[in-house]
Amino acid sequence: MSDRFDMAIVGGGIMGCATALRVAGGGMRAIILDQGDLGQGASGVNAGTLSLQIKRIKLMQYAIRGHARWESMGAAVGYHKSGGYTLAFTEHEEGMLLERQTLKREAGAPITFVSPDQVYENEPELGHHIRAASYCRDDGYANSSLTGRYYRKALAAAGIPYHERQRVCAIEAADTGFEISIPSGPVRARRLLLASGAWLKHVAAMIGVTLPVQARINTVSVTERAPTLISSVLGHATGLLTMKQKQNGTVLIGGGWQGDGSPATHSAGGVNADTLVPNLALAQYVLPALSQLRVVRSWTGYEANVPDFLPLAGALPVKNAFVLGCVRGGYTIGPYISELMGDLILGREPELPLFDPMRDFSSN
């Protein structure tokens, strides 16, 4: 057997792993290279919210199909279809809720508007400040800390090799393929997929491609265990809160509040008290019982974006090189958009269109 792979994937997050499975299913020999452990980037530290109510309208059909993939992964990824509420407390937030959720419903999400009393009936612990709310029966969550374990097992079952703790430090592109340098020696492949999350800009530069990738530094917190307080995924009309109570009783609080750090330093980033405090205050306003619970840990992770907040998913202007990343709500959408990406690489027509990574970003 040749030592040259059909495809090398830089990045073992959800995008890299799920695409590897798809192309292997189509008969390609793939290999994954990760600077850390599989699923320990954004895919392993995110809040795990699978909510159609917080998805971008242009990505709704991708998210709906993503939900179906999570449902089929089931208990192995801690999947729960809990239903979810988005809450508004002021007139301004009510307007925002009405406008945004109506558009999402028109885009195909099964979202309904419900009265505050209907919310309190199902979630009696919530503070009685709700002015308006929407509900989506398909919303839920998974446990992102299981991502690495899940994909490691799936890759092994599919016979796909992966190298962990092997940072790609150089890539040589030739007409016949790529030579990728990692500490344990070169890896050769005919095709290349960049799926390196918040490090995409840096890795793409290795093959002379400029991608306008920026990193957001999202914060997540978890409380100690508590008796059942809530059963649904909760969100806020502004998008600044996600909250769920896990089966073990802990409450997970997110909402995209920004911490400190930069992927360029290869550090994990850090929590910023100026953003953590209002994040927790909003959570407590929604669920007053939180005042009795200790937050046992807060952490951050890097999420990649481009100026129009749509994915980079397609071919690069280097022969046989592709990119997949910068997917807003990428944990939800990852398993599905990776199938599309795999299909493109296999030369099949993807079911839904992908997102040209070389599009013009100048108007954003």
Which parts of 248-287 interact with ligand FAD (CB under 6 A)? 254
> Which residues from 142-201 bind ligand FAD, rule CB under 6 A?
167-168, 195-199
Start-to-end CA span in the chain (Å): 47
Q: Considering beta carbons, is residue 36 or 161 the nearer one to ligand FAD?
A: 36
Q: Among the candidate windows 96-104, 152-160, 185-193, 321-329, which touches ligand FAD by CB under 6 A?
A: 321-329
- Report in angstroms the alpha-carbon separations of 240 from 141, 154, 237, 281, 335: 17, 34, 8, 11, 25
- The stretch near ligand FAD (CB under 6 A) out of 7-15, 101-109, 272-280, 349-357 is 7-15
Instruction: Return phi, psi of residue 135, to 5°.
Output: -135, 140
According to the binding rule CB under 6 A, does residue 42 interact with ligand FAD?
Answer: yes
Asked if residue 215 binds ligand FAD (CB under 6 A), the reply is no
DSSP result, 290-336: GGGS-EEEEEEEEEEE-TT---EEEE-SSTTEEEEE--TTHHHHHHH
Q: Give the total of residues touching ligand FAD (CB under 6 A).
A: 42
301 neighbors 274 (Cβ within 8 angstroms): no
Q: Is 49 in the site for ligand FAD (CB under 6 A)?
A: yes
Backbone angles phi, psi at 201, to 5 degrees: -60, -45
For the bound state, the minimum distance from the C-beta of residue 99 to ligand FAD, rounded and expressed in Å, comes to: 22
Interface with ligand FAD (CB under 6 A), residue from 220, 253, 271, 323: 220
Closest approach of ligand FAD to the CB of residue 324, in Å: 7
Beta carbons within 10 angstroms of residue 24's beta carbon? 19
From residue 298 to residue 317, the character string flagging contacts with ligand FAD as x (rule: CB under 6 A) and all else as - is: ---xxx--------------
Q: How far is the CB of 77 from ligand FAD (least distance, A)?
A: 12
Of residues 330, 335, 342, 357, which one binds ligand FAD by CB under 6 A?
Answer: 330
Q: Decide if residue 327 touches ligand FAD (CB under 6 A).
A: yes
Residue 338 found at the interface with ligand FAD (CB under 6 A)? no
The structure tokens 């995409």 sit at 200
The DSSP code sequence of 175-219 is TTEEEEEETTEEEEEEEEEE--GGGHHHHHHTTT-----EEEEEE
Across the chain, which distance is largest between two alpha carbons, in Å? 66
Closest CA to 190 of 7, 3, 2, 1: 7
Query: Which positions touch ligand FAD (CB under 6 A)?
Result: 10-16, 33-36, 40-43, 45-49, 167-168, 195-199, 203, 218, 220, 242, 254, 301-303, 325, 327, 329-332, 334
